[in-house]
């Protein structure tokens, strides 16, 4: 079974991907951490790639920064394809949500 770290490394190998950000924005992560802190088991470290495995599906959330030399939509499609390939062994359908959170311009 692939881990978020495995998937992150595959994403970083894609031309046009500059970085992978935490899957959950800071404020959302903080709210989730407060709720998790109140629950048994405590707080989890936020992942750069969020993989939610359920009984009948797998959902993946990825936030990337892309290079302005590449079309961000093409980079996002490539990321989704690589994530699906990395998780091809999953027993059920995989849905992928890719957010392009920033575009880096070379000066």
Residue 64 domain boundaries: 4-28+46-104
> 3-state DSSP call for residue 46?
coil
What value does the mean pLDDT take over residues 65-69? 93
Yes or no: say if 77 and 90 are a contact pair by the CB < 8 Å rule: no
Give residue 35's pLDDT: 59
Q: Is residue 33 part of a domain?
A: no
Yes or no: say if 62 and 98 are a contact pair by the CB < 8 Å rule: yes
* CA 80 vs CA 56, 65, 70: distances in Å: 19, 14, 16
What value does the mean pLDDT take over residues 38-63? 81
Give CA–CA dist 81/96, Å, rounded. Answer: 9
What percentage of residues in the chain have a pLDDT greater than 70? 78
Phi-psi region of 16 (alpha: psi -120 to 50; beta: other; left: phi over 0): left
Tokens for 24?
Answer: 């959950």
Give CA–CA dist 7/11, Å, rounded. Answer: 6
Domain count, the chain: 1
**What is the per-residue pLDDT across 45-54, written as a single tens digit (0 to 9) for each?**
568 999 999 9
What value does the mean pLDDT take over residues 60-80? 95
Give residue 16's pLDDT: 96
Give residue 36's pLDDT: 58
Q: Is residue 39 part of a domain?
A: no
Q: Is residue 40 part of a domain?
A: no
Token match 């959330």: residue?
A: 61
pLDDT category at 61 given cuts 50, 70, 90 is: very high
Q: Is residue 41 part of a domain?
A: no
CATH number at residue 79: 3.30.70.1350
């Amino acid at each position: 079974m692939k881990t978020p770290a495995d998937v992150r490394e595959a994403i970083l190998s894609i031309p046009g991907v500059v970085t992978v950000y935490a899957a959950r924005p800071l404020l959302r992560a903080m709210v989730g951490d407060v709720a998790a802190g109140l629950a048994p088991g405590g707080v989890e470290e936020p992942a750069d790639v969020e993989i939610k495995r359920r009984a009948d599906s797998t959902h993946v959330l990825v936030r990337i920064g892309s290079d302005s030399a590449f079309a961000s939509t093409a980079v996002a499609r490539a990321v989704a394809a690589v994530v699906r390939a990395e998780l091809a062994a999953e027993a059920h359908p995989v849905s992928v949500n890719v957010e392009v959170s920033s575009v880096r311009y070379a000066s």
